[in-house]
Amino acid sequence: MNILVTGGAGFIGSNFIIYWLKKHPQDRIVNLDALTYAGNPENLTSVDQLPNYRFVKGNICNAKLVSQLCKGIDIVVHFAAESHVDRSIKDPGVFLETNVSGTHILLKSALKNKIKRFHHISTDEVFGSLDLSENKKFNENTPYFPRSPYAASKAASDHLVLAFYHTYGLPVTITNCSNNYGPYQHPEKLIPLTITNIIENKKVPVYGDGKNIRDWLYVEDHCRAIDLVLKEGKIGETYCIGGLLKDVSNLEIIRMIFRILKKEDSLISFVKDRPGHDRKYAIDWSKIKKDLGWQPEATLEEWLTKTVEWYSKNRVWWQKLKKGQFEIYFKQQYPDL
Ligand code: NAD
Ligand code: TDX
């Protein structure tokens, strides 16, 4: 099988490539990634010498390049995106370019090259926000109600993917997953920011009252779910993937990390809330469980402990990312700290 992965130098994409080449060593992967601030070739040092892995530095908005790379490809797994909500609030433009126009360019090329499967990685954020007081969860039939520029751009890309299925018959599948965590996640996101700030004895910023709820999914569980959808998923269908059955607030997850690191939680600092901050995401992942037999392989406590260990052992990896441009970004993003 020849697979084109987009955004494979980012957090989930690199975990996916490592997972896939280990599980399916007979397959070939081409990784197209623009290496934005979020892309890091160091994530892939364990596979980059393999004969069946090829890295191409390039933009998914480059139609000519995308068209060349799609030749001979069986499956496209599309991760490439601008992924950080806070950055989308500051400057939505590049989110529209990459997440919407980039996806459109890929879809056109996939159609022209008669790709056997176009798998699109999306998010639960397209469904909007749940109330803290209600027990509702998002599922495959929840209407779209994106509330941040990032979520709106992902919603638009989901609609385009399904439009290419209904209008032109492109064989697509979509997964809408919840917040991922694990190795190689950029320290701009809550869990790696919290772990690394605690290790560095720096304040841990909590937006608003810290009661917001996310549905945490370990990245390897996510990769396994994508694998199953590629093998057994139904064309034209969407699968929701979440990691939890019980609600966990941001403050609770942050306190769990303090406990795992055996530190007092005095570094917690409440800062100005994110504009339009979605209160709660929760996923009903019963469809993928029932249809494909997927479920998380370990508990939040176990996966989080493993994640904290990884960041503790791989300081050089994240220390580099927290220098230079990131210091400027951090000062602008957290003026209260
Ligand atoms: P990330 O920001 O870590 O990585 C994105 C990657 O895409 C980077 O390597 C970057 O260089 C590349 N990229 C960005 N713009 C590009 C362009 N124009 N052309 C080519 N490459 C480009 O993101 P992630 O957290 O790994 O997320 C991957 C996908 O999963 C995204 O589509 C995101 O919306 C989705 N998702 C992420 C989460 C999460 O919790 N991280 C949850 C749900 C869905
Ligand atoms: O410093 C922080 N303090 C804080 O309280 C940061 C960075 C975040 N938060 C809060 C905001 C959210 O309620 O923590 C929660 C998680 O925030 P992020 O890590 O920024 O993730 P989120 O905004 O929920 O979006 C993530 O999950 C869905 C990914 O970044 C998206 O790409 C994905 O689609």
Tell me, in angstroms, the distance from the centre of ligand 1 to residue 127's CA.
19
Query: Could you say which of 33, 124, 278, 284 is catalytic?
Result: 124
Ligand 2, closest atom to CA 122?
Answer: 34
Query: pLDDT at position 175, please?
Result: 99
Taking the C-alpha atoms of residue 129 and residue 275, their distance in angstroms, rounded to an integer, is: 13
Tell me, in angstroms, the distance from the centre of ligand 1 to residue 79's CA.
5
Beta bridge partners of 239: 175
Q: Is 33 in the pocket of ligand 1 (CB under 6 A)?
A: yes
CB 260 within 8 A of CB 300: no
Banded model confidence at residue 332, pLDDT cuts 50, 70, 90: very high
Residues 184, 153, 120, CA angle at the centre, nearest 5°? 60
CB 64 within 8 A of CB 38: no
Query: Could you say which of 125, 188, 221, 284 is catalytic?
Result: 125
Query: pLDDT at position 29, please?
Result: 99
Indicate if the pLDDT at residue 223 is higher than 90.
yes
Structural domains present in the chain: 2-181+216-241 (3.40.50.720)
3-class DSSP state of 247: coil
Interval 167-202: pLDDT, tens: 999 999 999 999 999 999 999 999 999 999 999 999
Query: pLDDT at position 278, please?
Result: 98
Within 8 A by CB and 6+ apart from 172, the residues are 117, 118, 119, 120, 161, 162, 164, 165, 235, 236
Interval 3-43: pLDDT, tens: 999 999 999 999 999 999 999 999 999 999 999 999 999 99
Q: Is 243 in the pocket of ligand 1 (CB under 6 A)?
A: no
Interval 57-69: pLDDT, tens: 999 999 999 999 9
> Of 142, 147, 138, 229, nearest to 178 (Cα)?
138
From residue 123, alpha-carbon distances to 61, 127, 154, 186, 229 in Å are: 21, 9, 7, 17, 15
Query: pLDDT at position 147, please?
Result: 98
Q: What percent of the chain has pLDDT over 70?
A: 100
Beta strands across the sheet bearing 75-78: 53-57, 28-33, 2-6, 75-78, 117-123, 172-177, 238-241
Average pLDDT over residues 273-282: 98
Ligand 2, closest atom to CA 208?
Answer: 5
CB 102 within 8 A of CB 120: no
Shortest-distance ligand to the CA of residue 185 = 1
Q: Is 183 in the pocket of ligand 1 (CB under 6 A)?
A: no
Tell me, in angstroms, the distance from the centre of ligand 2 to residue 188's CA.
9
Taking the C-alpha atoms of residue 88 and residue 96, their distance in angstroms, rounded to an integer, is: 9
Average pLDDT over residues 124-147: 97
pTM, entire model: 0.99
Query: pLDDT at position 134, please?
Result: 87
Tell me, in angstroms, the distance from the centre of ligand 1 to residue 266's CA.
32
Query: pLDDT at position 123, please?
Result: 99
Taking the C-alpha atoms of residue 67 and residue 124, their distance in angstroms, rounded to an integer, is: 30
Residue nearest to atom 27 of ligand 2 (CA): 179
Check residue 274 and report its DSSP letter: P
